[in-house]
Chain A
């Protein structure tokens, strides 16, 4: 029973608010001997595990540090490429830390605006006239609920697959948005929501939901 995050997309399709609720932090530090028995590749300036699983490290995890020093842009502090470093036997044994990749803000904005056409396409593909867009998107690891208001703002919540009552939370979030974002005279429409009150009330709502399992706010 976990809620992973909340996203609000404006009428024109821009991400105006996002909030990560519980993101499980998975970090594995393992000491390796030469040669590294994982296949590593560089993708988007990140060193990613492309094949091989061991000690909790799975395909898709990202290398974050070597011997305790941080890896940035697939390079070490002194500018040597990580893959070059790991191909030299004299550098071993070596301690490598892998984590689940974290979405950057840019990626979130990108994905949120990606959902916008998907939603529109879904309503057009429908065999029946007057169909809504995507309301629930279910996968094996998460469930996404989307609620579009009559004015065109989309509220999205990503939660665990067995999480229930997500659609109710969305309506509550809409109320909070109407109260703490729109009634804030210094908030301009269609702009990113940076209202502290909104965020604190949202956190309270999610906490309460987690405690009781149902929303009775």
Chain B
């Protein structure tokens, strides 16, 4: 990557610390909110706030240019997962119109030590990711949504995150970019 030398190499941080911290966050939210749906919503919101800041770091490091189609966006998102989580989800299940795709996670460090208790089957444990994607894309004037449709914690073989393109936010595109 672009940065070397005097800086701490961010990829060399042990992922277990992150996994455990995230686990602590989710379990605290479960205590604070009675409703599992509220926890999902909070995770998404936190993710959004992370995403709108993280995108600048991504752009500064990768020196990415603006995406011209959604396929390119998908690859950038995949690259983002590699940089920040050290995993490469597969891109598949493109919709015919090319505005929807799935990210298939075979492994996910966030889930490493997790077993869902019976009382929270509706919990979307990784829901912070949907918020991150939404926030990051919004800052580069792409309106997207995403949701988990398969989850290894719920017995599926893989975790599948479905990402859907809604529109480009035309009036927010900075001058000189549109």
Contacts and interface: CB of A to CB of B under 8 A. Distances in A.
Interface of A: 11, 119-120, 122-124, 131-133, 148-153, 171, 174-175, 177-179, 182-183, 189, 217
Interface string B1-35: 01101100000000000000000000000000000
A217 B174 CA distance: 29
Nearest to A216: B5
Contacts of A171: 60, 63
Given A150-B140, A174-B59, 16 more contacts: A124-B175, A133-B175, A148-B174, A148-B176, A148-B177, A149-B56, A149-B59, A149-B60, A151-B174, A152-B172, A171-B63, A175-B57, A178-B61, A182-B57, A183-B57, A217-B3
Contacts of B55: 151
8 contacts: A149-B56, A150-B66, A151-B59, A151-B174, A175-B2, A178-B59, A182-B57, A183-B57
A179 B10 CA distance: 11
Contacts of B6: 217
Interface residues of B, number: 24
Contacts of B140: 150-151
Interface string B42-55: 00000000001111
B139 interface: yes
A11 B139 CA distance: 10
Nearest to A149: B59
B53 A132 contact: no
A189 B61 contact: no
Contacts of A152: 172, 174, 177
A174 B60 CA distance: 6
B64 interface: yes
Given A151-B139, A183-B53, A177 B175 contact: no
5 closest Cβ contacts across the A-B interface? A133-B176, A152-B174, A120-B175, A123-B176, A178-B57
A191 B61 CA distance: 23
Contacts of B59: 149-151, 174, 178
Given A171-B63, A175-B2, A120 B57 contact: no
A132 B176 contact: yes
A119 B66 CA distance: 19
A182 B64 contact: no
Given A175-B2, A177-B56, A182-B57, A150 B177 contact: yes
A216 to B, nearest CB: 8
